[in-house]
Amino acid sequence: MRQCSVFRNGDGLGQALEEIRQLEKRCLNVGLANKSKIFNYELEEALELGNMLKTAEAIVFSALQRNESRGAHYRSDCPERNDEEWLKHTLVYVAPQGLKISYKPIAITRFLPEKRRY
Amino acid sequence: MKAKVKIYRFNPETDKEPHYDTFTVEANPNDRILDCLNKIRWEQDSSLAYRMSCAHGICGSDAVTINGMPALACQKLIKDYDYTRELLIEPLKYFPIIKDLTVDMTPFFKRIEAINPNMPEKPLNAPMDKERVQSIEERGRIDDAIKCVLCGCCVAACPVILEQEPKFIGPAAILRAQKYIFDSRTTDKIERMQVMEKPYGIWGCKSYYMCTMVCPKNIKVTEAILKTKKKIIQELHPKSE
């Protein structure tokens, strides 16, 4: 968890990704004691757990690829913003072999991208 | 410390009659009642059903009856009650019970729908492509009503609904209507006041002040109802003054 807050680096994100993937494996063995069909929060939370882990994996995986710093993504191993390579949205897909990543250009309208100077 | 919590239980799949279960949880006086419920569900009995979402008094989904009074479980702390004794947690009164502490809120939202809780379709007092600017004073008239989170505590505490006339439209819907009737941007105030005068409408309120007492957002509900009554008299029945 501490590896994925605003200040992060490649090593930490890599470790976190490994940990999340271990948890996802464990999550496949989740069992339920409560079989009720009405207001079964145990079932709801079990389903949420799997989805949250998948989302966490997608976030950390994308952050690991982005080797620059931008906004709330501050990489201490690459502290500079790099518009040349990274002025683009990250898109993550769930594929059979694992997460698949692609990028989409940014539509720039009124506010031109520029470096923060404060 | 240990907190003893006695909870109303009813599972329609297995129970013919409701019963009470008592749980003991390790807790701090500063913990919220919701923390106790979560601890019970996560550590002792996963079948315990109660609604919750934001856990910070914004969504209004965890309204329950605590020691007889409706409140949001996420806003009340253990130390708000005499915790040397058992805490009693029951579903909201008046509403049909689905399971344990969850109730069917349909009768609540039917009431809100009855007053048409939307801005009018007719053009407002400004061109549609312009902002509808309000002065601080104009906004102040509806400030309180806007804080409502639709939790249902006021309806579950209203002595008129509980003991006299279950069809009474209730505090939350009148409060919502008050917002539109006093909003400087609405154009259908007269129609809205007429809706308030329908049978089981605003005149059912006997100003018991229970809604104001229990409101988790500290809205002066009864005051809003009285203001609306006054406006209806002034606008619709000027001679009767």
Residue A115 pLDDT: 78
Please name the member of A33, A38, A42 whose beta carbon is closest to the beta carbon of B13. Answer: A38
Residues of B in contact with A40 (CB under 8 A): 47
Beta strand pairing status for A88-95 and A98-105? antiparallel
Of residues B174, B185, B218, B171, the one with CA closest to residue B75: B218
Percentage of chain B exceeding pLDDT 70: 97
One-letter amino acid of B35: D
* Structural domain harbouring A15: 2-81
Contact B46 A38 (CB under 8 A): no
Contact predicate B72/B57, CB 8 Å: yes
Q: Which residue of A34, A35, A41, A44 to mutate against B (max B Cβ within 10 Å)? A: A41
Position A103 confidence tier, pLDDT thresholds 50, 70, 90: very high
Residue B181 pLDDT: 95
- pLDDT tens-digit readout, A58-69: 999 999 999 999
Which H or E element spans position A100? Answer: strand A98-105
Q: Please compute the mean of the pLDDT values over residues B70-77 and round it to a whole number.
A: 98
Position B125 confidence tier, pLDDT thresholds 50, 70, 90: low
Residue of chain B nearest A37, judged by CA positions: B13
Inform me whether the pLDDT recorded for A28 exceeds 90.
Answer: yes
B89 beta partners? B7, B66
One-letter amino acid of B178: Q
Q: Please compute the mean of the pLDDT values over residues B175-183 and round it to a whole number.
A: 96
Residues A39, A42, A45: CA angle, nearest 5 degrees? 105
The answer to which of B5-19, B123-137, B173-187, B226-240 has the lowest mean pLDDT is B123-137
Position B121 confidence tier, pLDDT thresholds 50, 70, 90: low
- Residue A28 resides in a domain: yes
CATH number at residue A15: 1.20.58.100
Map out the domains of chain B as residue ranges. Answer: 2-103, 106-240
Q: Tell me which CATH code domain B106-240 carries.
A: 1.10.1060.10
Inform me whether the pLDDT recorded for B241 exceeds 70.
Answer: no
| Single pTM value for the model | 0.85
Sequence-ordered alpha helix ranges (H) in chain B: 33-39, 106-114, 136-146, 153-157, 159, 171-182, 189-196, 210-214, 221-236
Q: Tell me which CATH code domain B2-103 carries.
A: 3.10.20.30
- Residue A22 resides in a domain: yes
Percentage of chain B exceeding pLDDT 90: 89
Residue B240 pLDDT: 60
Residues of B in contact with A38 (CB under 8 A): 11-13, 49, 98-99
Q: How far is A46 from chain B (nearest CA, A)?
A: 12
Inform me whether the pLDDT recorded for A113 exceeds 90.
Answer: no
Q: What is the total count of domains within chain A?
A: 1
Position B187 confidence tier, pLDDT thresholds 50, 70, 90: confident
Residue B178 pLDDT: 97
Percentage of chain A exceeding pLDDT 90: 84
Residue A6: both structure tokens together: 């605003």
Of residues A90, A92, A88, A91, the one with CA closest to residue A108: A88
Residue B129 pLDDT: 76
- Residue A32 resides in a domain: yes
Residue B146 pLDDT: 95
Residues of B in contact with A33 (CB under 8 A): 46
Inform me whether the pLDDT recorded for B179 exceeds 90.
Answer: yes
Contact B100 A39 (CB under 8 A): yes
Inform me whether the pLDDT recorded for A117 exceeds 90.
Answer: no
- Residue A74 resides in a domain: yes
